[in-house]
Amino acid sequence: MSAFFGRFLNILDYALGSLMRNFGKNCSIFILFTLVIFLFASFQLMTGSLTVLAEKILVTAPDITVQQMSAGRQVAIAE
């Protein structure tokens, strides 16, 4: 058990020493990854909310809309 614990402490010491040697680089990478994840999560949130909103709106929309061209634009036919 003591050998395992000593080996674990050596690996931990090596890992923490490596992190501290490159502190500025590691902080900049952490900030960059945090920003990328934040932007991706925001994009996913907006996409999901717009999809749900479109599904709710399209439930009441008609399947077919008949329109006519007037001055190069589509307008609804008056009943």
Domain boundaries, given as residue ranges, for the chain: 2-76
pLDDT of residue 32: 98
Quote the pLDDT of residue 71. 87
Q: How far is residue 71's CA from residue 53's CA, in Å, rounded to a whole number?
A: 32
The string of pLDDT tens digits covering residues 8-57 is 999 999 999 988 998 999 999 999 999 999 999 999 999 999 999 999 99
Distance CA 35, CA 55 (A): 30
pLDDT at 1 over 70: no
CB within 8 Å of 74: residues ≥ 6 apart = 67, 68
Task: Please give the model's pTM, rounded to 2 decimal places.
Answer: 0.59
